[in-house]
Amino acid sequence: MNAVLPKNQNKTNVQKGKAPFARKKDQVGGRERFELHHNKPISQDGGVYDMDNLRVRPWLTKPE
């Protein structure tokens, strides 16, 4: 999924250690940036820092 922003906007944000912006149509409830979510919840022994257990997504739905 590509964010649609002025050229290099997201690249600059990432270089500053900030999350990139999601596309306007993917922004919900004032949440403008992409977020990390766990595939398997930590409460169900999902790895906190396991890269295979993380996904990046815009805030389209409430967390499971």
Per-residue pLDDT tens over the stretch 27-55: 888 888 888 889 999 999 999 999 999 99
DSSP the chain: -----STTHHHHHHHTT-PPBPPGGG-BTTB-B-EEEESS-GGGT--SS-GGGEEEE-S-S---
Architecture in CATH for domain 9-57: Alpha-Beta Complex (3.90)
Place 1 in a pLDDT band, splitting at 50, 70 and 90: very low
Look up tokens 């596309």; give the residue: 23
Place 10 in a pLDDT band, splitting at 50, 70 and 90: confident
Question: pTM of the full predicted structure?
Answer: 0.56
Alpha-carbon distance of 55 to 32, in angstroms, equals 17
- Backbone torsions φ then ψ of 23, nearest 5 degrees: -60, 150
Mean pLDDT of the chain: 81
